[in-house]
Every structure is written in C-alpha cells, then in structure tokens.
Amino acid sequence: MSDMINVGIIGGSGYTGGELMRLLLRHPYVNIEAATSRRLAGKDVCDTHTHLRGFLDMNFEDLSPDEIKERCNVVFVAVPHGTSMNIVPQLLDGNTKVIDLSADYRLKTSVFEQVYEIKHTNPIDAVFGLVELHPGVANEIFVSNPGCYPTGAILSAAPLVTAGLVDAAIFDSKSGISGAGINPSVTSHYPNMAENIQPYKLTTHRHRVEIFQELNRLDNSLTNISFTPHVIPSVRGILTTAHIFTKSTLSADEVRRIYTDFYKDKPFVRVIDGIPTLSAVRGSNFCDIGFEVDTQNNRVVVVSAIDNLVKGASGQAIQNMNLMCGFEETEGLWVAGIAP
C-alpha cells in the first residue's frame, strides 16, 4: 500500500497540462495539489478544461518554484522550451521529484544550443525518460520527458537498431494538430487543416536530433537517419511510418521475434499482427507497432501509433513518475483507449 503524494503542474493551462490532470484524476495515490498559470491565475481550472467539470475544484495559481515545491512531492513542468531551464534548477534542491516535459534537458547541452539556437542557462544531466529504453529512471529525481515524435519513431526502430541490423532509417510521421498546442494559429486554423495534410520542416525538424541521439546510442555505427513530419486533420495521435533499410534480408518471422523479445516486459508497447491505427490507442498510453517486410529492397516498413498527448507527453510523464516514486509502472495508466 502506497502513501498519497501531492503533485503540482507548472503550466497547467495547455493541452499537456489538461491531459496530466485528466490522467492523474484516475491515479489512486495522487492528489492534484496545484496547477499554475500566470495568465489565468485565480481562474477556475475547469473553465479552461471544461471536460474536467465536477472532478476538480481548484483555481490556477501563480506560484514560484519555491512555493510549489513546498507543497508537492512531484512537479511536472509543462512550459515551452527555453523557459523550463529557468525553473527546473530551483525545484531540484529539495526532495521534490521533477519531470520536465519541455525539450530543455533532452539533448546534450552543446547539441541543444545548436539546434534550438539559444544559450542553455542551467545545464543539468537528465535521463531521457523513454522508459522502455531507460528503465534507470526508477532511481532518478529528475527526468526529461521525450518529445512526441521521437517517442513513436524511436520505439518503432529500437529493436532492429539494437540488433545492429539497420543501415538507414527514414521516419515519415503524421501528427494530429493538438501537437501544435492550445493557442490558435495559422496551422491550426480549421479551414487550413480540414481536407488537407501539411508536411513541414521536411528535413530540419528539431525532433530529428532526439531520434538520432537515442538510436545512435543503441548502435553508434548508425548515422543515416531522416525525419519528415506532417500534420493531418486529426486532433490526437502520431502515426510513424518507418522505412528501415536493413543490412541483410530479414524474414517476417525474424523481425517479429526481434520485436516481441525486445518489448516482452514493456506493458505499454503492443506488437500487433496487423497495421496499427490511431483509433486503437486514442486516449491511452499504448504504442502499437506493426510491420511488413519488403523483400525487394531490404526494407522493413514499421508503423507505430501513439496518442501524442498520452504516450507522447503526459501519459509517459506519469509513467516516469510511477517508476520514480516506486509505484507500479502502469498505476493509473492501465486504461483502454476510446473508440470509435
């Protein structure tokens, strides 16, 4: 039997903040103690996250890092990159456990500064919180939560890469528009997105570097890694089509064995027989993976599907919290998706 913990969310007014609350409400050992928003301080949380009406009776607060860590055992930081680095270090001098959902601590400092084109003011080493590859998060008090695209892309390729079988990997990813955030923009304008699909940053998206870092860590001879993102007319979900060129011809059975072995103790990865689809993971923390072998080109096409706001953000953050706090990995997260 576990004790209850108090949890705080810095930056609670966005989609990842709302999703953290929706999911934490089901967690038997969590009390949602505070959610901050400078802009909405004093306003009812449920005026923003209207689906939570009746479940939360709290207002957004404008709290300093010191104030929130005073009241909380765990703090999630859900603010834009570049902002997080000024908050995290102040949270880390006590017993508070911290999970950062921004990009600030995912990459080596030098790489971060080059890719994000800003100076890192407070470098700290952090584990990359993709639990399936980094079970060591269980011993950490600070974890950096992965990006949404990298989560689906890395999981789709990790087994073959770890086996040293990959020559090159092209990740062609398709994301729901909620990834662009809660604030209206040209991209998220309904008439621009409906009946459309919008590729962007064809070769230069920042998440490519996260994917590279993690896959190259698994096989440092692998450098030919490409990533192209698209936005599709869906709210949630990231489907990644990984075109993986292998060093030799593999049979479907071999590939299946490699994937099922690799993920055999990972409750949130489901290696399936058919082709994954966003419907089957919506609202859940699962990553579904399926594949087909292209015998003509030494290519394996692997498809992964996640909910970008759950396994791609808030669910994965709670998965990290569970391990960091000694809870079951699945605690509060063992919920089926919603379909149709």
| Residue 162 in contact with a second copy, rule: CB under 8 A | no
CA atoms in the 13 A half-sphere facing the CB of 230: 14
Q: At closest approach, how far in Å is the CB of 142 from a second copy?
A: 29
- Select the residue interacting with a second copy from 2, 64, 224, 249 (CB under 8 A): 224
CA atoms in the 13 A half-sphere facing the CB of 174: 15
Question: In this structure, what token pair is assigned to residue 281?
Answer: 């993971």
- Select the residue interacting with a second copy from 2, 31, 196, 249 (CB under 8 A): 196
| Residue 311 in contact with a second copy, rule: CB under 8 A | no
Question: Would you say 61 or 288 has its CB closer to a second copy?
Answer: 288
Q: At closest approach, how far in Å is the CB of 216 from a second copy?
A: 13
Total residues interacting with a second copy, rule: CB under 8 A:
84
Question: In the range 34-53, which residues lie near a second copy by CB under 8 A?
Answer: 49-53
Question: In the range 53-112, which residues lie near a second copy by CB under 8 A?
Answer: 53-55
* Residue 117 three-state SS: coil
Q: Other C-beta atoms within 10 Å of 191: how many?
A: 7
Task: Please identify which of the residues 46, 72, 148, 287 carries the catalytic annotation.
Answer: 148
Find all residues with CB under 8 Å of 185, minimum gap 6, and list them.
none
- Select the residue interacting with a second copy from 182, 213, 217, 219 (CB under 8 A): 182
Active site residue 148: yes
d(CA 222, CA 168): 7
Find all residues with CB under 8 Å of 110, minimum gap 6, and list them.
none
DSSP per-residue string spanning 148-179? HHHHHHHHHHHHHHHTT-EEEEEEEEEE-GGG
- Select the residue interacting with a second copy from 94, 114, 200, 265 (CB under 8 A): 200
Question: Would you say 110 or 279 has its CB closer to a second copy?
Answer: 279
Question: Would you say 164 or 184 has its CB closer to a second copy?
Answer: 184
Question: In this structure, what token pair is assigned to residue 304?
Answer: 């992964």
Q: Are 282 and 338 in contact (CB under 8 A)?
A: yes
| Residue 142 in contact with a second copy, rule: CB under 8 A | no
| Residue 256 in contact with a second copy, rule: CB under 8 A | no
Q: Are 280 and 305 in contact (CB under 8 A)?
A: yes
- Select the residue interacting with a second copy from 230, 254, 256, 266 (CB under 8 A): 230
| Residue 216 in contact with a second copy, rule: CB under 8 A | no
Counting every residue, how long is the chain?
340
Q: Which residues are catalytic?
A: 148
